Amino acid sequence: MPELPEVENVAVALREHLTGRTLTGLKVKCTKVLGQCGTATRRALLGKALDGVHRHGKYLVLNFTDGKRPDAQLMIHLRMTGQIFILEGYIPDKHVHLIFDFDGLPVHYRDIRKFGRLLLVDDPINPTAIAHVGPDMLLVRFNEWHRRISHRKAPMKALLLDQGIAAGLGNIYVDESLFLAGIHPLAKPVDLTRPQLQSVLRVCKKVLRHSIKHGGTTFMNYTNFHGKPGNFQSKLHVYGRGGEACDVCGETIERIQIAGRSSCFCNNCQPL
Ligand SMILES: [Zn+2]
């Protein structure tokens, strides 16, 4: 569920609160969320300080250093329900699987579905583990993005969700971006003019930036680094609003399945 804006907010908070702090402890309550065993994770990271947080799409890569041993990198992918936070006086419940101790500051990793992963990787910017992931959605230029989608026959909804084309969008921001660009989710690249495609990419970036500014979207259980929900859900036009009236034209918002995902859109504002 956390998409680019929610992950970006976590990245900003990790940089702000943990940069320069040494990891002095790591309690592992469930190894399933680790990409390697607890011992290997501790051996790589303990005694090293966080000195960089890089975000690529929905992935975070934390760089740890002690100036002596080689640096180590931990990649975090929150997937469906992963949360990472500091909360004063917080008593961990059964969904907290990891507790990082940053020089006396406890940082909790909580994940109800346990689909999230924390994996040691080989590079702070371009780890091999995500070599298959396309450029970040906020950074990709139109020509490159266009080259990656123009020959594809899938509907725009599926192409925008495809992390191999560009990384960061999930169901929420794809539905919202297509609505704001006035593009039907089943439209294919070949159906659209170059200005329409330029508008889609421009709107996607705008929606992502707008959501980052509003602290992201909380639909299920996303909370920020301080345990607070985001505010962007109040600004959603179509996502999760199937059967309700479109707030622009009043038509009923439709909900259909595309590429196995539910898609909400307004047939009037987004004609095919
Ligand atoms: Zn409408």
> What pLDDT digit, counting tens, does each position of 193-209 carry?
999 999 999 999 999 99
Distance, CA 268 to ligand 1 centroid (Å)? Answer: 5
Model confidence at 220, pLDDT cuts 50, 70, 90, reads low
Tell me the average pLDDT across 211-239. 86
Q: Domain limits of the chain?
A: 4-130, 142-265
Of 82, 76, 56, nearest to 167 by C-alpha is 56
Among candidate residues 44, 48, 62, 61, the one with its CA nearest the CA of residue 101: 48
Q: What are phi and psi of 130, to 5 degrees?
A: -120, 30
For 161, how many CA atoms within 13 A lie in the half-sphere containing its CB? Answer: 19
Handedness of CA 114, 116, 118, 119 (dihedral sign): positive
pLDDT in tens, 75-127: 999 999 999 998 888 999 999 999 999 999 999 999 999 999 999 999 999 99
What is the spatial distance between Cα 122 and Cα 137, in angstroms, rounded to a whole number? 23
What topology is assigned to 142-265 in CATH? Helicase, Ruva Protein; domain 3 (1.10.8)
Mean pLDDT of the chain: 95
Are the folds of 4-130 and 142-265 the same?
Answer: no
What residues are annotated to the active site? 2-3, 58, 261
pLDDT value at residue 108:
96
Give me ligand 1 centre to Cα 170, in Å: 22
| Class of the CATH-defined domain 4-130 | alpha beta
Distance 96 CA to ligand 1 centre (A): 42
Residue 183 pLDDT exceeds 70: yes
